[in-house]
Amino acid sequence: MTERETLYIFRIGEAYDDVKPVFVVDGRDYAEDRGVRADVEAAHRALRDLRLIGEVETTSAPPDAPRSPLPTWPQWRARHVDGSEPIGVRPRPAAQPVPAGRDAMFHWLEQSKTWLDTQLATAAAAVAGGRVRRTREPSVHRIGAASVDLAEERFRMDVEYLVVPPADTTANQALAAISGWLRANGWTVAAPEESTSYVTFSATLSGYTCGIAWHHRDHALNLTGTSPVVDATAFDPGGGAGGAAHV
């Protein structure tokens, strides 16, 4: 694959795990391979000089392949480097201090995994004779975009379970067993809502949320648990962390 048969897709963002495509160098736009290489190198230099977090992906670009809707490197450069259009992401700072509460935040989220996973597993087991299976492992993930200012990043943990009750169990019986257990253990349970396909309700406790959905067609229940959305500032030694009492 020659340079003129290659499409370079440049991605930028505020963290390496949150980059989005912004411009391309399409080899079909050039008369010679060296012209492609020159623009690829110029793009790399510009992103480096701007201190932008980025990466490049390469793919084959045969003559009949569809064109990318992204701007070309010369177009993007004219708008955002030579021109004044905002780039949309901030440069990586010379120093990126870790916020005072960040380690404590992740420690709390890890502990929340155990607490919320146990809550959902036990609630699911309240359906007599039901087969219970965890369908999503407890996991911590960022909510929203990454940030070069780590104090701005927000996180949550999630877990999911599936319950398949015995064939003779009605929706009302299964939902009553789940909601009864949740109420008995301090959760505030909302009124159910019904459609042609589902019966759903939610429950809350100190910022945690549990969503329950009965699927008429599958004769099964899905339980989804989420922690509060938190950031490092809530765990700064000078402040406090709501919900931590449940860990």
Full residue range of the structural domain in which residue 40 is found: 3-80
Q: What is the pLDDT of residue 247?
A: 42
pLDDT in tens, 99-126: 999 999 999 999 999 999 999 999 999 9
Q: Are residues 126 and 30 in the same domain?
A: no
pLDDT attached to residue 1 = 75
- Measured CA to CA, the distance from residue 83 to residue 90 in angstroms comes to 16
Residues 15 and 116 in one domain: no
**pLDDT under 70: residue ranges of the chain:** 239-247
3-state SS assignment for residue 195: coil
Q: Are residues 112 and 71 in the same domain?
A: no
In the numeric block, the tokens 């030694």 are attached to 237
Q: Do both 25 and 68 map to the same domain?
A: yes
* Domain harbouring 144, CATH code: 3.30.2030
pLDDT of residue 246: 40
- 160 and 239 within one domain: yes
Distance CA 156, CA 109 (A): 7
User: Is residue 36 assigned to a domain?
Assistant: yes
**pLDDT tens profile 130-139:** 999 999 999 9
**Number of neighbours of residue 83 by Cβ within 10 angstroms:** 9
- Report yes or no on 93 lying in a domain: no
Alpha-carbon distance of 235 to 233, in angstroms, equals 5
Give, for 87, the enclosing helix (H) or strand (E): none
Distance CA 220, CA 130 (A): 9
Last residue of one domain, picked from the residues 80, 111, 143:
80
